[in-house]
Structure 1
Amino acid sequence: MTTASLASQARDDRAAVDKAISLLVAFGDRASSGVGVSELARRAQLSKSTAHRVLGMLERNGVVERVGTDYRLGERLHQLGRSVYAAGHESLRDLLLPYLTDLYELTRHTAHLAVLHGTDVVYLGKLHGHRPAPVPSRIGGRLPAHATAVGKVMLAYDAEAAAQAIAGPLHRFTARTIADPAALAAELDRIRRTGIAYDDEESQLGLSCVAAPVLGRSGRAVAALSIAGRRGRIDTRRLGADVRRVAAAASQAQQRTGRLQRP
């Protein structure tokens, strides 16, 4: 095969991958319910014939599946997504869900259970409060740890992850997001002294959160619990004691199992 032929094949391969990813992204919030070929083609800015051909390839590989005349994301893609995270997350979530429920019932605000994955937060559980709040979290979703209460409280109890976060770029979501490495280091020191972290419109305007760590036997945070609500309608300072108390009980339960689950 000539050099020109190899270069042409490489361009074709890249083009095929780009088209496949564009189609997968195009499913959006209808990933589980299904989307028609014409609509997917429009969203991905592809011709209908190209979309149909690429979807056929994805279907053969189990990445998408047909639902009547529509397509939805397939089981293979869900399996790949699950494999990104530590195997222990599922058992950790099962162990700590009762404490997430306790926290929700105690406060009636939106409650979160999260773990660290590198310098990001991964949400394993979420219970919605009675009062709607502008919460950007979703189960399985990720956010940079430095911009969230659950993330900061876990960084404070994980020296390695904290060093990575401080050294890396600190994306600013709002004017209140901590984007200065020295300021983040000082905030983590404060959290270690108090055992609690706050998010005052750092991840999203109008949102306030308070979080406490679930500690393993080594003293590192294996997870975090938090509550969130609309700023002005939730007293995070007053409710911080409740969050810390439930997280302490969750820490004791986790340590009794002898299973230090870490990403």
Structure 2
Amino acid sequence: MNPLCVLAMIVVSFPASVFANHQYPEATQFQQQRNAMVDTLSQKYRGLGLAVEDMRVLNAMRKVPRHRFMPKDQHKNAYRDSPVKIGYGQTISQPYIVALMSQLAEVESGMSVLEIGTGSGYQAAILFELTSQVYTMEIISPLAKRTQETFQTLGLLKIKHQHGDGYYGWPGELKFDRIMVTAAAAHIPPPLLKQLKPNGRMVIPVGPVWGNQQLLLIEKDLHGKSTTRSILPVRFVPLTGRVFK
């Protein structure tokens, strides 16, 4: 589930080495295209304070094979800085938005991260390069099944994946250091805020369905008090579920 906007971004030049949390089959396929994509991304939005400069995030983008998370007929579009349709009314996010959201989350190794809206599985794979504790939920059953198969094919067996309504968060009493929502909500879901640990961060697009939304960064302090900051306007597919019908 991902943004339909084509926002730009910035970059500096980075080495090709990447954080090695997972080894992909055919790892070097399309490597030149991935490098070019990241180099292009890291040269945009510098003057607006929206540059993606986190080396770990950019190295993850260099490494994860985006084309393997989309239909074969879309492989030719895999490394353009634009969203791509993946079926069921959903998209794989624009690379800049994936990188920006990952940077805003400030994921550190060992943190637990919950993603709402697995979609293609690409964002979860990027997060998995940053920490091994990745949980992701998808409400659309056939898409959840297809993504689970993608994870199995690519050996991403440690990513915890579940079919369910992400508005209510991960079932059980787990709490997370970071939460990332990759579909637009009409408001900040209270159950997700409750699952965010003290000193945690949530990145979420909020706004009207099929309209302009705002990408928000929510930070919870050590006492559980939350503050919200608007980052930039975006267009995401809507968060679905019983609450939004």
Normalised TM-score (structure 1):
0.30
Structure with the higher fraction of residues in helix conformation:
1
Higher relative contact order by CA 8 Å / sep ≥ 6: 1 or 2?
A: 2
